């Protein structure tokens, strides 16, 4: 099993380019099924999850051509099958994203239960609700089998603002007969990327960026050339890493609007940055001190659907808070197992009280000591990297496959910032 060998205690320094948004790349690859014409996708991160999605696309008979670094040309004439391979489905949760486009194009989709991060219960009911509203029948006896003679537009109210369920509903609705309204839709930047890509293909979508989407179905979608945005989760991770190690970096590519919730949360920890054009600078002279709420109250950082603080940055904000003076409450509302990695931080010397599966109180700053760690999921794994970077001594991080599912060429890029990190095995 591959692992990272990390020497801590060194501040990061330098310039790094933000990768493309993983959570935009995956649905955009799935959406390429909706046309038999070529689809060019740019700024696609070179990560494991993307390779799995491309593997699934090939299994349908699609052609996948690398035309430049982080750029792919996808073409799918006649589909050989409407079934997602089981070995690929179990690797990533995003395999569920093929349900909507397969159903829209062929009238059938067969998906084994998806895999992905183990961060708590991740219900799929909302996907079934949305697709049945559009006219699909669903069987869950063994695999998930969706069938429909014809998809028809509908007035859909999602029972939760699920990102992937919203994306599946959008991809099915763009080729459905008539008009679809999706209320309580997720509106994250990656959902917006998918909508804009589909519009370049000829889809009619209104309300992009809001929680109410109006979609008028069309008979056919065409080719497109689309570049996805920067991964603001990765950017948030690099901001946390820089602050925790008392470093200074410039990040190329992030959009200011994508980081507004993160700016507010990091600001509660006395961490700020400058943003000019497409350049973001995190300087050395950070306050690194908790800003109390009115009356001297302990502040709370809690996640929420967009435009709330992104749940994928909860692990990052927790480890960053261990290096900040003061006390803060982090409230993870969405997944009941995401916080269980904090026992590893406590073992390194962090002062954290895990109140229950959703709430942790962090008091800092704490001197962390190098340790042997195992990554449970993508974001907790990156939090462990940050902890190892600001700890005294050496650390070993195992199961780095989980980290590399979401972070492109991490060892190479961090080494360029002065980090002492090696990949072994």
C-alpha dist (Å) from residue 362 to 185, 296, 327: 33, 16, 6
Q: Which residue has the tokens 């052609």?
A: 63
- Is 349 exposed, middle or buried (CB count within 10 Å of its CB: 0-12, 13-18, 19+)? middle
| Active-site choice (117, 193, 258, 303) | 117
Adjacent-strand bridge partners of 212: 183
Provide the total of helices (H) and of strands (E) in the chain, helices listed first: 14, 23
Q: Say if residues 41 and 228 touch (Cβ distance below 8 Å).
A: yes
> Which stretches does DSSP call E strand in 118-176?
137-139, 144-147, 155-157
Q: CB-side exposure of 155: number of CA atoms within 13 Å?
A: 0
- Is 80 exposed, middle or buried (CB count within 10 Å of its CB: 0-12, 13-18, 19+)? exposed
- Picking from 421, 381, 376, the residue whose alpha carbon sits closest to that of residue 5 is 421
Q: Where are the alpha helices (DSSP H) in 134-258?
A: 163-173, 189-200, 232-244
> 359: how many CB neighbours lie within 10 A of its CB?
16
Q: Say if residues 224 and 193 touch (Cβ distance below 8 Å).
A: no
Alpha-carbon distance of 16 to 418, in angstroms, equals 12
Q: Say if residues 341 and 366 touch (Cβ distance below 8 Å).
A: no
Q: Say if residues 324 and 331 touch (Cβ distance below 8 Å).
A: no
Residue 83: strand, helix, or coil: strand
The bridge status of strand 326-331 relative to strand 359-364 is antiparallel
Q: Say if residues 164 and 128 touch (Cβ distance below 8 Å).
A: no
What is the rounded end-to-end Cα distance, in angstroms, of the chain? 6
* Phi, psi of 242, rounded to the nearest 5 degrees: -65, -45
Known catalytic membership, residue 46: no
> 296: how many CB neighbours lie within 10 A of its CB?
6
Alpha-carbon distance of 63 to 80, in angstroms, equals 12
Alpha-carbon distance of 153 to 172, in angstroms, equals 9
- Active site residue ranges: 117
């Amino acid at each position: 099993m591959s692992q990272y060998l990390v020497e801590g205690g060194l501040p990061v320094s330098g310039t790094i380019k933000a990768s493309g948004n993983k959570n935009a790349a995956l649905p955009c690859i799935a959406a390429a099924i909706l046309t038999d014409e070529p689809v060019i996708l740019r700024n696609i991160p070179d990560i494991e999850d993307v390779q799995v999605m491309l593997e699934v696309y090939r299994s349908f008979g699609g052609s996948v051509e690398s035309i430049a670094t982080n750029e792919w040309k996808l073409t799918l004439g006649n589909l050989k099958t409407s079934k997602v391979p089981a070995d690929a489905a179990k690797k990533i949760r995003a395999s569920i994203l093929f349900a909507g486009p397969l159903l829209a194009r062929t009238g059938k989709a067969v998906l084994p239960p998806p895999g992905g991060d183990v961060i708590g219960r991740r219900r799929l009911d909302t996907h079934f609700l949305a697709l049945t509203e559009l006219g699909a029948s669903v069987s869950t006896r063994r695999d998930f089998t969706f069938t429909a003679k014809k998809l028809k537009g509908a007035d859909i109210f999602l029972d939760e603002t699920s990102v992937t369920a919203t994306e599946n509903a959008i991809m099915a609705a763009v080729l459905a007969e008539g008009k679809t309204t999706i209320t309580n839709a997720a509106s994250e930047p990656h959902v917006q990327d998918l909508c804009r890509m589909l519009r370049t293909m000829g889809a009619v979508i209104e309300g992009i960026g809001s929680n109410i989407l109006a979609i008028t179905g069309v008979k056919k979608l065409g080719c497109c050339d689309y570049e996805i945005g920067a991964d603001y989760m990765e950017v948030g991770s690099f901001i946390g890493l820089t602050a925790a190690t008392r470093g200074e970096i410039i990040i190329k590519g992030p959009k200011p609007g994508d980081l507004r919730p993160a700016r507010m949360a990091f600001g509660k920890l006395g961490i700020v940055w400058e943003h000019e054009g497409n350049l973001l600078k995190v300087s050395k002279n950070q306050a690194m001190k908790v800003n109390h709420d009115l009356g001297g109250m302990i502040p709370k950082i809690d996640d929420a659907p967009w435009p709330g603080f992104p749940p994928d940055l909860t692990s990052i904000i927790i480890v960053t808070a261990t290096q900040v003076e003061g006390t803060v409450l982090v409230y993870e509302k969405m997944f009941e197992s995401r916080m269980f990695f904090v026992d590893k931080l406590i073992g390194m010397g962090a002062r954290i009280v895990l109140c229950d599966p959703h709430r942790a109180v962090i008091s800092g700053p704490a001197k962390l000591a190098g340790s042997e760690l195992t990554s449970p999921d993508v974001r907790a794994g990156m939090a462990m990297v940050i902890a190892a970077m600001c700890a005294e001594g050496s650390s070993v991080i195992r199961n780095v496959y989980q980290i590399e599912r979401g972070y492109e060429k991490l060892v190479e890029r961090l080494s360029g910032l002065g980090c002492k990190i090696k990949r072994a095995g």
